A and B are shown apart, each in its own frame.
Chain A
Amino acid sequence: MSSQTLSAGPAAESGNGQEAVVQLTDVRRHFGETPAIDGVSLTVRKGEILGLIGRSGAGKSTLIRCLNGLERPDSGSIRIEGREITGLSEPELQPVRRRIGMIFQHFNLLSAKTVEENVALPLKIGGWNREKRLARAAELLDLVGLSGKAKSYPAALSGGQKQRVGIARALAAGPALLLSDEATSALDPETTASILELLKDINARLGLTILLITHEMEVIRTIADRVAVIDAGVIVEEGPVWSVFADPQTETTQNLLAGVRPGLPQSVAARLLPGPASAAQTGAGETILGVDLSGPEAATLLSGLSAELSGGFRLIHGGIDDIQGQPVARFFLGIPSTAGTAAQAIAYLERRGAKVEVFGHVAGHA
């Protein structure tokens, strides 16, 4: 399965219509000799959550800062709601920025202002009067579940609460796009989950388009509709999250997925010998297969295989994950080294549409 055919999956339709909020074409940005962004073309569709993932130094921070003009690209085109912004002066960029909310890894709340003053600041910049902006701030604090903290100073809040204030502030002026710059990277797992939940809820309730950058696949998996993988300033892979999880095309993506996707257990990998187990072998040898399959077929794959193979097989590791409501299976199987069994198993699995990888064989089993 190529990522081309997969782009017509459920996530592609979830962006209400195909209207582009952000359209990048061949954007480049160099710092001295080293390219930070090396020809990126990317579209963020209205209403979708697009996750941009990459290791630190991959260029994702520079890229996200190009979208609101905090960084200027050397070349290429950036369109926000259809408007080209690359040629704009600093004063011309200011109204564009008011259409784009941004949240940060370290929250960036003003310590000298109360929570409500922080939330109301974009409105103050937008020229709202005090009464109206405080009323709007109260509304937003209610949305993020912090009504009681309006008069507190940020220093009195926990990390998760600070990010909620950051989100309320980013939403204050009713933006068309929310940029999230590693917004959960400074938070513990539980708080991360609640912040992602909030972002997802806002996306669903307000139809807000979100572009988030992260180095954690778990974040992408929890919240994003589509994912773009960036490495050395280049988008190396892009597609609906479930399809990228099911069938990563590049090594970069595979490495990034390592923590959230089952892999061959170390104890088996250490004993692995090349090639399938040969018929001449005696004793309980096993051929080790890696099997990937996404879609409703995944649920019945193992029971089917069990019926197919008279000698049975062993499930070493793996399972079925649910990503965007899409079953994504990844199994590691041990097939007995009886003559022809491995070939029979592979033929069956491939007939069912699974991708099969032969890792090798082990003599005997654990």
Chain B
Amino acid sequence: MSPVMLELFIRSFWETVVMTVASGAISLVAGLPLGLALVATAKGGIAENRAVNLVLGAIVNGFRSVPFIILLVALIPVTRFIVGTAIGMWAAIVPLAIAATPYFARIAEVSLREVDRGLIEAVRAMGGNRWTIIREVLVPEALPSLVAGFTVTLITLIGASAMAGAIGAGGLGDLAIRYGYQRFETTVMVAVVAVLIVLVCLIQWVGDLLVARLDHKN
């Protein structure tokens, strides 16, 4: 690989990392409350509300059913409104975050729903309110599972960020398409795939380690 190519490679790597981390962070901050809202408003939840639950569920399903490449284009006006431009790495973070939020919300919902109802009952019996239940029971008890789910979300985002090349966002996926595939530079293709494998393994490893540290169930 030439020095110019290497420089391009390193830049693409950081673009992928920044896109993944930024949109992942947004999906965590927005998706967890959304997941909590889905669980709380569900039948038998701590703030049961059928109407709200149906609406939230429909919104989540709506975003999840649109293929990411279409969402990327469809959200251009929104992206332009938020970032000021519809192209480049920062512009790609908007659709990535919007796609990842309902994805993580669903994963979080499953994790939170698994929390033993007896624990919620115990804290209610102590005189705890809904916030106490969320703070002391739902989130801490589901935490290992939430971390595992967030790891899956991050890895999915790495994959999705490859498509962000369509709006000029760069990143490793884009590099592999333009140089590795379209210009037949097999070395670049192989290098990109190798780096992505290492990146995904690393995230998974850190995630698993964290889960093991947080889990006191056994």
CB within 8 Å of A: which residues of B? 116, 118-119, 121-129, 132, 136-137, 140-141, 143, 214, 216-218
Contacts and interface: CB of A to CB of B under 8 A. Distances in A.
11 contacts: A70-B125, A94-B127, A94-B129, A97-B125, A97-B126, A110-B122, A110-B140, A111-B216, A125-B128, A125-B132, A173-B127
Contact of A91 (B119, B126, B129, B214): B129
A108 B129 CA distance: 17
Contact of B140 (A112, A122, A125): A112
B119 A108 contact: yes
B132 to A, nearest CB: 6
Interface of A: 68, 70, 90-91, 93-98, 100, 102, 104, 106, 108-113, 121-122, 124-126, 153-155, 169, 173, 179
Given A111-B217, A153-B216, A155-B218, A102 B140 contact: no
Contact of B121 (A70, A111, A121, A122): A70
Given A104-B118, A155-B218, A97 B141 contact: no
Nearest to B130: A90
B141 A112 contact: yes
Nearest 10 CB-CB pairings of A with B:
A108-B122, A97-B127, A98-B127, A112-B140, A153-B216, A94-B127, A108-B118, A102-B125, A122-B126, A111-B217
Instruction: Say whether chain A's binding surface is mostly helix, strand, loop, or mixed.
Output: mixed
**Which of A90, A108, A109, A122 gathers the greatest number of chain B CB atoms within 10 Å?**
A108
A121 B123 contact: yes
A125 B127 contact: yes
A342 to B, nearest CB: 56
A156 to B, nearest CB: 8
Nearest to B135: A124
A104 B122 CA distance: 8
A58 B147 CA distance: 42
Contacts of B214: 112
A79 B218 CA distance: 41
B132 A110 contact: no
Contacts of A104: 118, 121-122
B13 to A, nearest CB: 36
A110 B218 contact: no
